[in-house]
Each structure stands twice: as structure tokens, then as C-alpha cells.
Amino acid sequence: MILTLEQSIKHFASATPDKIAVVCGSDSITYAQLWDSIVQRSAELVEQGIKPSRPYVYRATQNIDFVVTYCAVHNIGAIAVPLEAQAPEESLQTIRAEVDGCSFASDIVDILYTTGTTGKSKGVMLSERALVACTENFIVDLGFDSDLMFIVSGPLNHIASLFKILPTLSCGGTLCILNGLKDINAFFEVFELPYKKFATFLVPASISLIMQLSYDKLCSLADKIDFIETGAAPITRHDMERLSKALPHSRLYNTFGGTEIGAVCTYNFNDGRYMEGCIGCPMKNSNVEVTAEGNIVVSGLTIMNGYVADEESTNRVLRSGKIYGSDLGYIDEEGMIHLKGRQGDVINVGGFKIDPSEVESAASSCEMVSDSVCVAAEHPIIGTVLKLLVVLTQGAEFDKRALAQHIKSKVEPYKVPTYYEVVDSIKRTYNGKIDRKFYKK
């Protein structure tokens, strides 16, 4: 039986009191100290007037104190509402007013606000059952255990990083919190700590950056890295192959999930096939179907209860216990699920429906390209065409013809962009996704 996060920490505070639970820079805390801090913070929150089933809105700082506060909120039966650390005060007050004006079911423990890349940011209500089910999915399908040190570098208000706290501490492992990956040396220094095995979650853009800047260092960790998980955005076959070459014995997971659905499927792409877009089979507590139109439908114990104060949006995506999202895909003969882009991202060019991520993937395997985004553009004669914005690899010279020929060797002719433009960077959300809404302005 999987315990809640707080029950697990309390258990390990007794069973392994002196074991380090969380590391952040030069700071660390044992399981006994962590539980004592949670109890103390719980009392402080009660004194502040925080009551069971009521929301507590706060900024998600990248430190041990975040873990203490997050668990303390749960410990008193309240609802954790962590927001981005740099969220403007106006946004914080707007969200606080929204949640304070609502009542919530007794089983709601988290409200996580989406990034809003496809529309208005929404508050996703998650139950204790969903959190426990996600924890079990990770433990069973990714192999978390007590010997593991798991490195989290992404923002702790986002499910991709927040939900790694759950399986790590529920197994009695050690969590390492980094404040992003701006200091790559700090990331590599973690592997000098005296632990048997390491794992981390990295968005594809971060994986690509690390391989560009520090590939040899990554290769030197082949015997230390138990697994790397990626997700939130597509990882290219080129990066799959290169990462697998660097870490031939590590498990390398491409996981499909989201705030509304939790962790749903995963695929270890270090299998020699490097299937781009493959997200594997459903995890223990999840179910996946694909409609006749190609939309992916998710059900199971990990899905949300609904959106805060937005019944219309809730009813649009959550019907009869199933989440109908905008991700497109299919199931192969092995029962493996493959993604084929998102409904709102598809670009219609002369009657052909094109997933821009496929073009970006083809471009990424060209040596001159460091990053790219494929967008719709207007041609004065033929109408909508594809345009590719590219960030050049350091020291590379732009050769439009060579790039177009390279892409043509990877995809059908109608997917080759008409226009090309060199840019300094690609606009991404704080969790590594291309901010496609920005490019649709």
C-alpha cells in the first residue's frame, strides 16, 4: 500500500531518522528534522488561521522550505496552491481571490495553475487519491527506491518537478533541489555526492543544451545515472540516439503526463529503436484510449477533479470520468501509444495538416541548428506556408539551401518550410515547452 507523502516522511523519520531527505546547495535536512519542521510549520499555519479544505496560496521557492510548507499544508488538511516563484503580486492576489471565493471537496489537496500556453491559466484541482496514484505510477514504472538521489531543477509549482518529490521521499530516497540549470557546473557537482545512484527529470531543451555544452562530462557519469526522465515537450530521435550513446546502461524515459491527467505513460527509449513520439504503455493506475478522430483520452486514478470556478471548461474536457485533451496520437500493434502533435498546433498547408514538431525534429538533426520553431506564415500567392525560425549552433554559418535539403531528406516535400529566419532564441515556457501561443500573435 502506498502511503501519502506526509505519512511516508513520518515513517522514515522513525525508521531512518538520520538519513538525508533533501539537499539544496550547502543545506540539507534529515528525515527526522524534516518531519519536525513539518509539524512546526503545521502549527504556524493553524495559528495563521489556515483551516482544513481551505486553500493556501504561496510562491514556490526552490529550496527545502518549499517541501516543508507543501507537506505542512497537507498535514493540517488544507489545500496547497503553489505559484511560480516570480509570479507578479497582481497575479498572486487574483488567484488568491479566486480560490478564496470557492468551496472545495474534502479530498482536494492541491490546486496547480497551468502555464496558459493554449489559453487562460486554469486552476487544476487534484485529490489525495490522484497524488498517491501518481506516486505509485512513478515507483512501479520508473523504479524509484531508497538508494536513489533524484535531482529536481525545474520550478516546484509545476507537476513535472513537484510530483518527483512524492516518489522520492515516499521511497525513503534523497531529493536534491537545484534552482534551474543556468549553472551547469552546479548540476554536475551533485554527482560528486556520496550516493549509489542518481536520476533526474530534464525537459528536452535542457537535455539538448547539456549535450551541446558538456557531452563528455555526461558520458563520464554513465555508471552513476540510473535513469533520466523527460517530458513536457517532444524529444527528437537525434537527441534520443545521442543521449543513449552517452548513457548506454541507463534507463531513459519519455513520459506523457500533464497537470489535468497526472503521470500516464512512459517509454524507455534506450531500446535501440529510439521511437520518436512514442510514450509507451499506460502506467499502473492509468488508462488511455484513442478516439476515431485521433484524440487521446485518459482515465484512471490520477486525473483531476476539475478546474477552479470554471464549470464550462471542466465539462468540455472531463466527461464520464475521462479527460478529452487536444493531444493527437495512435496505438500500435504492441499497445504502445504514439503522439502526433496537438490539435491546436496543426498547420494546414494546401490541404495537408502538418505537425510543426515533426519539422522541428528534422531541423534539430542538422548540425547548424541549435533550436527551432516551425510557424505558419502567409505567402502572397499560395497562401499559408511554413516558416522555420532557427537558433544556430555556436560558430555555425547559416546555409538556407543546405538546411532545406537536410529537412527534405527527413520529411515529405510538403513539410519543407518555404521561409527561414535566424533568431537569437526560441520563446519557451518556464517548463521547457515552445510557447506556441506567443508565435500565433
Statement to judge: residues 332 and 368 lie in one domain = no
> CA-CA distance, 194 to 365, in Å (whole number)?
36
Shared-domain flag, residues 250 and 399: no
The predicted pLDDT at position 346 comes to: 82
At 431, the pLDDT band (50, 70, 90 cuts) reads low
Asked if 380 and 298 sit in the same domain, the reply is: no
Q: Can you give the pLDDT at residue 441?
A: 67
- Across 210-227, average pLDDT: 96
Q: Could you tell me whether strands 79-83 and 55-59 are parallel, antiparallel, or unpaired per DSSP bridges?
A: parallel
Fill in the DSSP letter of residue 428: B
pLDDT in tens, 73-95: 999 999 999 999 888 898 899 99
The yes-or-no verdict on residue 267 having pLDDT over 50 is yes
Mean pLDDT over residues 237-254, rounded? Answer: 96
Rg of the chain over Cα atoms, rounded to whole angstroms, equals 22
Per-position b or e across 281-300, b if 16+ CB within 10 A of its CB: bbbebbbbebeeeebbbbbb
Given pLDDT bands bounded at 50, 70 and 90, which one contains residue 381? confident
Final residue of a domain: which of 289, 312, 340?
Answer: 340
Report the distance separating Cα 59 and Cα 52, nearest Å: 20
Query: What's the CA gap between 115 and 120, in Å, rounded?
Result: 8
Highest mean pLDDT among 67-81, 88-102, 363-377: 67-81
Q: Which of 340, 370, 391 marks a domain boundary?
A: 340
364 and 335 together in one domain: no
**How many domains does the structure of the chain reveal?**
2
Give the Cα separation of 203 and 154 in Å (integer). Answer: 9
CATH code for the domain in which residue 374 is found: 3.30.300.30
Query: Parallel, antiparallel, or unpaired for β 295-300 and 318-319?
Result: unpaired
Question: Are 264 and 399 found together in one domain?
Answer: no
CA separation for the pair 40, 42 (Å, rounded):
5
Mark which of 294, 321, 340 sits at the end of a domain.
Answer: 340
Name residues whose C-beta falls within 8 Å of residue 94's C-beta, 6 or more positions apart in sequence. none
Q: How far apart are CA 333 and CA 344, in angstroms?
A: 27
147 and 71 together in one domain: yes
If asked whether residues 195 and 242 sit together in one domain, one would say yes
Burial class of residue 372 in the structure, from the number of CB atoms within 10 Å of its CB (0-12 exposed, 13-18 middle, 19+ buried):
buried
Question: pLDDT tens for residues 157-189?
Answer: 999 999 999 999 999 999 999 999 989 999 999
Checking if the pLDDT of 382 tops 80, the result is no
State the average pLDDT for the chain. 93
| Residue 228 · residue 200 · CB < 8 Å | yes
Q: Are residues 211 and 351 in the same domain?
A: no
Range of the domain at 377: 346-439
Evaluated on CA atoms 216, 219, 225, 226, the torsion sign reads positive
pLDDT tens profile 334-349? 999 999 888 778 888 8
Q: Please report, as a single letter, which amino acid is at residue 127.
A: S
The residue whose grid cell reads 512514442 is 278
Sheet arrangement for strand 55-59: 55-59, 79-83, 108-113, 123-127, 306-307
pLDDT at position 2 is: 78
Out of 59-63, 134-138, 223-227, 392-396, least confident range: 392-396
Residues 429 and 301 in one domain: no
Same domain as 279, residue 323? yes
The set of cell numbers assigned to 11 is 515513517
Q: Give yes or no: residues 161 and 194 share one domain.
A: yes
- Residues 103-157 have pLDDT tens digits of 999 999 999 998 654 457 899 999 999 999 999 999 999 999 999 999 999 999 9
What is the per-residue pLDDT for 430?
A: 67
Please say whether the beta carbons of 233 and 432 come within 8 A. yes
Mean pLDDT of 195-219: 93
CB contact set of 412 (below 8 Å; sequence gap of 6+): none
Same domain, 289 and 353: no
pLDDT tops 80 at residue 1: no
CATH number for the domain including 18?
Answer: 3.40.50.12780
pLDDT at 197: 96
